[in-house]
Amino acid sequence: MDTRFTRGKSNILERPLTRPKTEVSVSAFALLFSEMVQYCQSRVYSVSELQQRLADMGQSVGASMLDVLVLREKNGKRETKVLNILLFVKVSVWKSMFGKEADKLEQANDDDKTYYIIEKEPLINAYISVPKENSTLNCAAFTAGIVEAILTHSGFPAKVTAHWHKGTTLMIKFDEAVIARDKALDGR
Amino acid sequence: MSRQSNRTTDSKKMNAELFTLTYGALVTQLCKDYENDEEVNKQLDKMGYNIGVRLIEDFLARSSVGRCQDFRETADVIAKVAFKMYLGITPSVTNWSPAGDEFSLIMESNPLVDFVELPDNHSSLVYSNLLCGVLRGALEMVQMAVDVKFSQDTLRGDNVTEIRMKFIKRIEENLPAGDE
């Protein structure tokens, strides 16, 4: 932990966190991401391991993103309700990362713990062609990691996985306790 | 190839923060995977090189830049067109060597390092070393061998970030296959 509080070599803590105006080109991101995928691929033996590695990297992105977004978009207030945090992900998180809202947010018919965020053409996958022998591979596992970190760090522990369904679907499975708490809050 | 039609010369833009954080996640992962900073620097350079080799095609297709006549023109194109196009910044070109084979790119801000603070135990990590690889790889594809390295870095307490580029030689074209 001590590394988080190093003496400032830079003025990073003095800088304002207001909305940044800087933009980079999508090609720059696509090329960087492709290198990341290849790097991960060179160190794993299976598709699921590869996805796990991408998700891990996404997690560290999500954790940083959350604080910045809560401060900018929510005046520092965190969400306490499941539906609100999901909408926060669908709207605020997506807009700031990908410039648009996620296409759809749905709840599973048969399970109150499970939700889906559906994206027809996710930016992450725009330049990736999935090889036939690894047809389950979905590099949106990276996005899933981001979402998982955002939910978990907001106090909604969940598992998020990426699937090929109506484009790319992120399946969010909340912990039992999260849903129980949400119902208790409703009951009051 | 059907995509050709809807592709514009203007490249699409995205939020720099996702890019910055993604790069950060990559560097973090490399620091976990490798034992020392030197290895991480090397790996970043290698990945940058791979990117540069592909990026140059994207660049030549999108920009209407022709062949550069000399190294000075190359420097200008890199700073004013390429950096602007991909990272949204325009570094200044300075410190020319008398022979005109060496110059510096000075960056006031570096989009790769927003939010970044180097912990003390990574003092020899060249955080943005990917950029060196990108420049080297891209220029190699237009037959220029160059040496690229960071000589100043705001992350290490310098006032500016400086990339030093040195022209080594022109790579001969049309080498027969298998010839050294």
> Best residue in B9, B28, B117 to probe A by mutation, most A CBs within 10 Å?
B117
User: Does B102 reside within a domain?
Assistant: yes
Q: Is residue B25 part of a domain?
A: no
| Residue B137 domain-assigned (yes or no) | yes
Q: Please compute, for residue B56, the number of CA atoms within 13 A of its CA located in the half-sphere on the CB side.
A: 20
Quote the domain boundaries for residue B153: 37-115+125-170
ipTM of the complex: 0.87
* Structure confidence at residue A133 as a pLDDT band (50, 70, 90): low
For A166-176, how does the pLDDT look when each residue is reduced to its tens digit (9 = 90+)? 888 999 999 99
Question: Tens of pLDDT along A79-100?
Answer: 999 999 999 999 999 998 888 8
Q: Which of A11, A22, A66, A67 should we substitute to test contact with B (largest number of B Cβ atoms within 10 Å)?
A: A22
Q: Report the C-alpha gap between A19 and A9 in whole angstroms.
A: 24
* Residue B158, in any domain of the structure: yes
Q: Name the closest residue on chain B to residue A123, using Cα atoms.
A: B14
Of the partner residues A25, A32, A68, the one whose CB lies closest to the CB of residue B13: A25
Model confidence pTM above 0.95:
no
Q: Is A124 on the interface with B (CB under 8 A)?
A: no
CATH code, domain carrying B61: 3.30.1380.20
| pLDDT reading at B2 higher than 60 | no
CB-based contact A25 B121, cutoff 8 Å: no
**Residue A20's pLDDT band (cuts 50, 70, 90):** low
How far apart are the C-alpha atoms of B144 and B58, rounded to whole Å?
Answer: 18
The domains of chain A, with CATH numbers, are 26-187 (3.30.1380.20)
Please give the tally of structural domains in chain B: 1
Q: Indicate yes or no: CB of B16 within 8 angstroms of CB of A60.
A: no
- Helix (H), strand (E), coil (C) string for A134-153: HCCCCCCHHHHHHHHHHHHH
